[in-house]
């Protein structure tokens, strides 16, 4: 294993190659473009194919067709492009096709701007397309996690026959860090006995989601919901930082979770017992991570690059037993450590004792 200095987007692309991805369909859009650029150069060397669709709608439907063969397939985009993929995302989930999708968030709404944002949280975690479906959503906070989570995303997609989303932001995608290039781990996965690859010598298989009767439609929905409940029970992931004796918590994912660690350390120096919970799975949201703190802490601050979206899930996880406040920036702006710490001191009326 070796370490190389690469952009976060390139770490995603290299991880896909190492994970055995053979097909990539996408359309370039800032700040995710380096994913397709890197794969265009390196995936063919690994026996794979990169095809630029005429747009995001075509690209996600190409992923649908390719995934029915059991081949590992991926697409990548940024916020406006992800919006265009929503019908396809719903179809992938209904057909139970394992596809890895990357959304490197940029500021919105509309065309917005090219700066980092987390304003796609609702769209990514609640289902941006039609129908009751869910995506497994992973939120890295550094380049090494972009690599590791992308590699694992392919295994999760195959394990549950479900699309998996890597939700990053423009800051993570463009930042350069050393990344350890790991080989694909050996994971026991269910057989792909559902693929359509020619039916000579066997019965025909169909991969469809259309229900001709309401009874069949309900049975399908119940089957999907049962799968989502199993995912919710087994795949909740989070990181805790200085939570053992914490009186207050901050909650942040991705870049905000990364900044949050420095805020915690500065708060401790200022005499505030602050801890951090960093959700790693945005869906399923790590409710289990909050359970021990419902009666233990005095308050929570969520740090987000949006108008306040994850805060709703935090309030539900904590059952509204303690006050939860939002510290946020929008439009591509990033909060500083001091800005967050001062906000915590203000909303909880805490005296910050600065070290000399």
In the chain, % helix, strand, coil (3-state, to 5) comes to 40, 20, 40
DSSP H helices in the chain: 8-18, 33-42, 56-67, 79-84, 86-95, 121-126, 143-160, 170-174, 214-234, 254-269, 287-290, 310-317, 337-347
The reply to whether 2-234 and 239-347 are identical in fold is: yes
Assign residue 198 a region (left: φ > 0; alpha: ψ between -120 and 50; beta: otherwise). left
Rounded Cα–Cα distance for residues 28 and 10 (Å): 14
Sign of the torsion formed by the C-alpha atoms of 115, 108, 153 and 48: negative
CA angle 153, 42, 157 (to 5 degrees): 15
CATH architecture of the domain with range 2-234: 3-Layer(aba) Sandwich (3.40)
Domain boundaries, the chain: 2-234, 239-347
What pLDDT sits at residue 355? 58
Separation CA 298–CA 295 (nearest Å)? 8
Report d(CA 121, CA 135) in Å as an integer.
12
What pTM value is reported for the model? 0.96
Give the pLDDT confidence score for residue 186 in this predicted structure. 86
- In this prediction, residue 184 carries a pLDDT of 87
Q: Are 139 and 283 in contact (CB under 8 A)?
A: no
Domain 239-347, what fold? Rossmann fold (3.40.50)
Spatial distance between the Cα atoms of 196 and 207, rounded to a whole number of angstroms: 8
pLDDT by 10s per residue, the chain, length 356:
789 999 999 999 999 999 999 999 999 999 999 999 999 999 999 999 999 999 999 999 999 999 999 999 999 999 999 999 999 999 999 999 999 999 999 999 999 999 999 999 999 999 889 999 999 999 999 999 999 999 999 999 999 999 999 999 999 999 999 999 998 888 899 999 999 988 888 888 889 888 889 999 999 999 999 999 999 999 999 999 999 999 999 999 999 999 999 999 999 999 999 999 999 999 999 999 999 999 999 999 999 999 999 999 999 999 999 999 999 999 999 999 999 999 999 999 998 776 55
Q: 118-156 burial by CB neighbour count: b if 16+ within 10 A, else e?
A: bbbbebbbebbbeeebbbbbbbbbbbbbbbbbbbbbbbb
If DSSP codes are grouped into helix, strand and coil, which group holds residue 165? strand
What local confidence, expressed as pLDDT, does residue 208 receive? 85
* Helix (H), strand (E) counts: the chain: 13, 14
């Amino acid at each position: 294993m070796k370490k190389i200095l690469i952009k976060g987007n390139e770490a995603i692309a290299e991880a896909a190659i190492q994970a055995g991805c053979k097909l990539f369909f996408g359309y370039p859009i800032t700040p995710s473009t380096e994913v397709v650029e890197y794969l265009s150069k390196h995936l063919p060397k690994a026996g794979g194919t990169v095809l630029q669709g005429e747009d995001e709608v075509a690209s996600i439907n190409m992923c649908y067709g390719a995934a029915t063969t059991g081949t590992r397939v991926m697409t990548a985009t940024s916020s406006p492009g992800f919006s265009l993929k929503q019908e396809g995302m719903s179809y992938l989930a209904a057909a139970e096709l394992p596809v890895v999708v990357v959304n490197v968030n940029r500021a919105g709404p509309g065309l917005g701007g090219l700066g980092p944002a987390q304003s796609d949280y609702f769209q990514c975690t609640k289902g941006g397309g039609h129908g009751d479906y869910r995506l497994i959503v992973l939120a890295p906070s550094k380049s090494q996690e972009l690599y590791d989570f992308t590699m694992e995303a392919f295994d999760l997609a195959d394990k549950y026959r479900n699309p998996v989303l890597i939700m990053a932001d423009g800051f993570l995608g463009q930042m350069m860090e050393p990344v350890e290039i790991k080989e694909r781990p050996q994971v026991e996965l269910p057989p792909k006995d559902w693929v359509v690859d020619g039916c000579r010598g066997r019965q025909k298989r169909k991969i469809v989601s259309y229900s001709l009767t309401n009874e069949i439609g309900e049975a399908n929905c119940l089957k999907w919901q049962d799968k989502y409940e199993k995912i919710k029970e087994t795949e909740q992931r989070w990181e805790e930082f200085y939570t053992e004796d914490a009186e207050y918590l901050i909650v942040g994912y991705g870049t905000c979770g990364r900044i949050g660690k420095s805020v915690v350390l500065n708060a401790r120096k200022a005499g505030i017992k602050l801890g951090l919970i960093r959700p790693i799975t945005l869906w399923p949201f790590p409710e289990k991570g909050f359970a021990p703190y419902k009666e233990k802490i005095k308050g929570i601050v969520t740090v987000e690059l949006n108008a306040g979206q994850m805060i709703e899930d935090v309030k539900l996880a904590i059952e509204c037993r303690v006050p939860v406040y939002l510290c946020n920036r929008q439009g591509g702006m990033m909060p500083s450590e001091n800005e967050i710490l001062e906000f915590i001191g203000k909303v909880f009326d805490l005296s910050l004792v600065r070290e000399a």
